[in-house]
Amino acid sequence: MSQATATDFVIDAAPVIPVVVIEDASKAADLAKALVAGGLPCIEITLRTAAAMDALEAVASVEGAIPGVGTVVSPQQLEAAKQAGAQFAVSPGHTTTLLDTADALGLPYLPGAATPAEMQGLMERGYKNLKFFPAEASGGAAYLKNFASVFKTIRFCPTGGVSLKNMHEYLSLPNVDVVGGSWVCPKSAVETSNWDELTTLAKEAIKAAHAINA
């Protein structure tokens, strides 16, 4: 599978990719089941806690889940994530080393880009699906809209400051089919094991996304 299409399944699975920060890996399987039940199968476990890799492995065991790893900043993290069952990886930016490692591992990779130079460089590598981060701080939907006619083959996954309140601004763009966000997996719900809340939030996100294209 070429890098040009390697992450299509991530972009097309659902309109929202939950961005998860988890402190207790024992909760990861139930968390994933709740999100899958709500219609959000792609789950990005961010490498911001000591429990992240164990959580990733747990999510990989859940039927229907598409486990991924986020905040990847080193080749070693890509290698460990692949071994733990990651089906995709996401970075806030990118480097040549990370791109080469993802290629060598055959791990579908969503590299971050926020400038025209970064976007064009990734296009030359065959990428057409990119993370746009930090979305709101980088100019938001108004900024990203500028690239729809310039880089016609690129689709973006905006992340960073995206919420239920503003997701419509991004999903209404012709170059955005999915957004990433942590609001569908609030820390308070995870800490109290309120899995019904996660399922409800996931369903609300999908309903809101479908309303945009209605």
Active-site residue 136, yes or no?
no
133-139: list long-range contacts, CB under 8 Å, 24+ apart: 133/92, 133/93, 133/158, 133/159, 133/160, 134/92, 134/159, 134/160, 134/161, 135/159, 135/160, 135/161, 135/162, 135/170, 135/179, 136/160, 136/161, 136/162, 136/166, 137/161, 138/114
CA gap 75, 158 in Å, rounded:
23
Q: What is the amino acid identity at position 158?
A: P
Q: Which of 33, 57, 128, 131 is catalytic?
A: 131
Q: Which of 33, 44, 57, 136 is catalytic?
A: 44
Active-site residue 131, yes or no?
yes
* Residues designated catalytic: 44, 131
